[in-house]
Amino acid sequence: MKSKYPEVQGGGSLLLAWQVRNKHILVIGGGEVAAGRILNVLNADAKVTVICPSEGLNDEVAHRVSSSQITHIPRPFLPSDLNNDVDMVLCAVDDPIASTQVYKLCKEKRIPANIADVPPECDFYFGSVHRDGPLQIMISTNGNGPKLANIVRRQIAGGLPENIGDAVRKVGLLRRKLRKVAPEQGESPKRMGWMSKVCEQWSLEDLCEMKDEDMEALLGYYKPGTVPSLNQLRLGQEPGVFEFDGSFGWYIG
């Protein structure tokens, strides 16, 4: 008999949105790969220290040092560098032996580490990410094909509406306002259900067009659990009434 539950598909990674805001991330190396890693974690508001001789910094990393976006220690890595409250290590040096030593030291200290281009020595992988404001979409091949992940990411991004990032931002603002209207813990299922209705019934264009006054008016429909269209909201109509659509007919909103 076929199980009613999803089949387990082993061999994957647990994809998470890892919050590293104000965490101390140590980057070993200063080349092109390190530059990409640094940008990723700076975008997540982490505090970054780069350990690399000055002559090993590429132009991008050197710019981030000179503009005080990151801290730079101009010398090779030392094991004692892991004693300074490090929350994560990103190693991007072209030295397999040194990279393996870094990974082993991190394992001993239980510090999560990523060793560039060595999947077996990674506690986590960097995927190919599409970013549009608060929206982030990551494609991972579990270390099998980073270039292919980039191709898939571009194809997915090409099919997304141009305004989807703004729509996501507006939904987030509406959610925060709703929590102030109904802050009780017991309201959580109703809040989630009502927000789902808004996302399902409003188009992305409507969500982008929604203004602060529209949000305040929309929140007034939370208690009865109804969701009017944006046009009904601005006309002060109740959901389900007949509404003139500007043509030769009427429709039910």
- Domain-wise residue ranges, the chain: 24-126, 164-252
pLDDT in 10s for each residue of the chain, 253 residues? 667 898 899 988 888 889 999 999 999 999 999 999 999 999 999 999 999 999 999 999 999 999 999 999 999 999 999 987 999 999 999 999 999 999 999 999 999 999 998 889 999 988 889 999 999 999 988 878 888 999 999 999 998 888 899 999 999 999 999 999 999 999 999 999 999 999 999 998 899 899 999 999 999 999 999 999 999 999 988 776 545 555 545 444 4
Q: How many CB atoms within 10 Å of residue 194?
A: 22
**Taking a C-beta distance cutoff of 8 angstroms, is the pair 243, 237 a contact?**
yes
**Taking a C-beta distance cutoff of 8 angstroms, is the pair 108, 97 a contact?**
no
The span from the CA of 235 to the CA of 115, in Å, is 58
First to last CA, the chain: 44
117 is catalytic: yes
Catalytic site residue from 87, 95, 117, 123: 117
pLDDT of residue 1: 61
Structure tokens at 7: 């089949």
The span from the CA of 239 to the CA of 12, in Å, is 44
pLDDT of residue 176: 96
| Domain at 24-126, CATH class | alpha beta
Pairing of strands 24-28, 88-91: parallel
Task: Let me know the angle formed at the C-alpha of 193 by 4 and 195, rounded to the nearest 5 degrees.
Answer: 130
